[in-house]
Structure 1
């Protein structure tokens, strides 16, 4: 506890802790809908698609500005979503194949542009490759404030449109019959995923940010069958992962925050898959034992009844 309080007493570490916690919270909330709509790969696709947007923003401006990088990454993510939709509508390929094509194509373009920047006559390009794996320690107050605004906006929109997102996640046809603008809501949900991915790039990186979208949601699924509680638990798991990742990386020198945060989320998933009250392995084992014991008791009761009938005869 002394180490935790000493860590939180550092102003820079307070910003990093707040930023990573809010990032995990918002990613966990929006990731539930992506997971339920069977679009788990979408977050990974959008994260990798953001890399060329970051590189192009730097090549056009020559400035390492988080705001400009977020704009470039956001535009690249939107282009990637339209590309996936175009491939799906105009070919016989399914959505997972389209996402794989867009992911590899955009990420390959990003690596090429990053190599050109590092070997070209661009000044102030040092540290640009940190967006691959994230560098939470480089966040300053303005970055965290921007991230806070984004995260609060994501959570607010998901709260206000919870019923609509719930219906289109389970039964889009029923939502269309009720008169909801399903196409608009699906594009809005995709845009929110893009924003969540872009917000987490600096802390976790384009390679690992998808884990914060999906892992907390999958972990929460093992604890409940109610979507509302699942969304809350997913946000809590994401926030706890961000806090634990920040604390461990601050306690050990030269340990990156992003990968540790993902490992913390994975640890919570392992705990959930073991001890989840309904779908956990331990719960299933205990249920099988209770059913077996009940079956044995019923057989013993029937045998005792038959023995008494034979004795009476």
Structure 2
């Protein structure tokens, strides 16, 4: 998926486990077929999973990121009534893999790519309860870090311009440019709240028609209160989406900003993963279709 991607195999994982965590050696190691774009994930026995960063980076910087993600995941676990992975250990480079890596608890369930919950009001209510619990968590004076989504929409103009250029021939770019020209002007009113930051189908587990758990919690931190509303566009059809909005008591501006963050994310998914991760590319297209349909 990436020009600087690092390959990880089950044999490499087995050696790393044997050398660094011998208490787990002998457990079955199973690579997971995942639509994830940041980590290669391997299941270790029945209760653990190992996550290996896919993109080559400085080991010291990678360790700092993994340590920060572990702290964030542990903090989110304290406020969520829904299952989330909890950090267990950090591994070191070795066996041909050049960066640190992480181990966390394994959560059973089916990701929303494979068990579509988009028509479920009950799932929307669960999703709202998850988001509300995060919003109620203390920021402890922290503010948005400036990385990725969650700050000022207009700061993403350069990225959006690249997305528009790369999407020629894939999407109706003139129409999408007009949509962004509206979104980028939306004012920010609410103070930062604690947010998951990436509520896309691959990070949400479904059990029946309910929310079974939430993955990839290392981005938990302060951001625009509208950021987690991207889930309404990535995950829900119009009826349940309205349930999410009503349950969270979103005003018009906050809801529109959530739509804007979903638009920004979806625009990047379509072209970047068109060849390397078609499932993610289709998620982007579906989200854009939902957003455009809501504006007709």
- Give the TM interval when normalised to the shorter protein: under 0.3
Larger % of helix: which? 1
Greater RCO, CA 8 A, separation 6+: 1
Q: TM-score, normalised by structure 2?
A: 0.24
Larger Rg over CA atoms: 1
Larger % of strand: which? 2
